[in-house]
Amino acid sequence: MDAYLIGWSHTAFGKLADDTLESLIVRAVQEAVSAARVDYEAIDEIVVGNFNSGFVPQGFPASLALQANPALQYKPATRVENACATGSAAILQGIRCIQSGAARLVLVVGAEKMTSAPPAEINRGLISASYVAEEAEAGSFAGLFGQIANNYFQRFGNQSDALARIAAKNHRNGAANSLAHMQKDLGYEFCRTVNDKNPLVAGPLRRTDCSTVSDGAAALIIAGSEIARQADKAVRIRSMVQVNDFLPMTRRDMTRLEGCSRAWRLALDGAGVQLTDLSFVETHDCFTIAELMEYEAMGLAGPGEGARVVFDGLTEPGGRLPVNLSGGLKAKGHPIGATGVSMHVMAAMQLTGEYTGIKARDPRLAGVFNMGGSGVANYVSILESAG
C-alpha cells in the first residue's frame, strides 16, 4: 500500500524563549491537522519524535500531542528516538502503520527544545549519541566531526575551501527561508576566514561549518492512497529506507559514509529511479564535512572527489542537483527531534509549490537524507509530487 503526505506544518526554528516542548508540539499538531483538512477523530496513530537527552526536564512526551485537541484522548501515541534521525524514524513508523493496514491516518510530529539548557548539558546530551566507551572524550559532536574532517583531509587533502563554499551556499539559501534559524547570507569569504567571529571549533571545522542549537517543531499527516485521492494536496512516498551501521567509529572507515551510500542505493532502487531523476535533495549537513561526504555517498562523486561537486556548482540552486534549498541544518537549524520531519516538510512544500524561499526548478522528485550519529542511522526517502 502506498503512503502519502497530505498535510504538514513547520514552526519557525531558532531560540524560541516563549515556547516549551509542549507548546511546540501542540502548535505543530494543530497546524498540520488543519492543513490536511482531516478530523482529529479520524487519526488512528500518533508518533512523536523527540531526542531530549537532558535538554528539558519533561520526558515521556508522546501524550503531549493529545493536548492539541480533546478528540485525541485515548489515541495510541508513541515516542520514537534515533539520535539526529529521530524525525525520520518517526515518519518510517507512521508509514509502516499505513502499509500494514493498522491505520488509515497517522499523525507524526517531531520537536525539540534545546536552547534553554546550558551548553555543557547540550554537549553531554549530544555526545550520548556516540559510542561513549571510546568517543565521549571528544567532548562534543563537533569534536567527533572535527576528527572525521581531519581523517578526510589527511587522506584526500585540505578541503577547507570546499567546506566554506558549502556553508556559504546553505546560508545564502537559508536567508530566503522565513522559517530558518539563521536568515543571513554570510558570504564565502566570511565562511572561509578564521577570525574572532568565525573561530576554529574542532579540528579544521570553523563555527560556520557547524549547525546551530535550535528549538522547533514540524508535523505531518500520512495517509493511504484512498484518502490521498480525496485530499487537497498529496506527496507520494515512493520509497523510504533505513540502514544502520556499527556505532563505534573504530569499526568503520570514517573517510566514507557507507551506511548513507547503501541507503541511497536501496531507496533509489525501491523507487525505481536514478539519482539523475531527482529535482533536488535535502541532506543532513550537521557539519559541512558531512554534506561533502554525502555528495560522494549519494553518487555525485567518487571517494575524495566531493570538492569537485562544490566547485563545479552542481548543488547550487541553479545546478544539476540543488542541495539544501531550505538552508539545511546549517542555516535552517537543527532541533534534533524535529529535523527529519522538517526535511520532509520542506521537500513536500517544494513539490507542491508552497515553498516561498528559493524554489527548485520544475520539482517532481525529491531525495531526503537524514542521519543519526556519526553516519550510524541512515534514512533516505524519495518523494514525488502527486499533483
Contact 267, 240 (CB under 8 A): yes
Q: Single out the residue of 86, 77, 26 nearest to residue 335, CA to CA.
A: 86
Q: State the residue for C-alpha cell 525505481.
A: 272
203 neighbors 147 (Cβ within 8 angstroms)? yes
Q: Which of 46, 6, 2, 29 lies closest to 230, judged by CA?
A: 6
Of these residues, 10, 181, 334, 344, which one is catalytic?
334
Instruction: Please check whether residue 313 is in contact with residue 169, taking contact to mean a CB–CB distance below 8 angstroms.
Output: no
CA distances, 383 to each of 46, 109, 272, 372 (Å): 21, 18, 12, 20
Active site residue 334: yes
Return the H-helix or E-strand segment holding 267.
helix 258-271
Integer Cα distance of 129 and 126 in angstroms: 6
The CA distance from 94 to 386, in Å, is 19
Task: Please tell me the distance from the alpha carbon of residue 53 to that of residue 122, in angstroms, as a whole number.
Answer: 8
Question: Grid coordinates representing 372?
Answer: 543519526
Using CA atoms, how far residue 378 sits from 69, 90, 266, 268, in Å, is 33, 13, 11, 14
Region of residue 366 (phi > 0: left; psi between -120 and 50: alpha; otherwise: beta)? beta
**211 close to 334: Cβ distance less than 8 angstroms:** yes
**Which position among 10, 84, 284, 286 bears the catalytic label?**
84
Strand partners, 369: 380
Closest CA to 331 of 124, 178, 221: 178
Active site residue 84: yes
Q: Which of 325, 312, 323, 331 is nearest to 369 (CA)?
A: 323
Question: DSSP secondary-structure letter at 128?
Answer: T
- Phi and psi at 315, nearest 5°, equal -105, 10
Phi, psi of 282 (to 5 degrees): -105, 120
Q: Which residues are catalytically annotated?
A: 84, 334
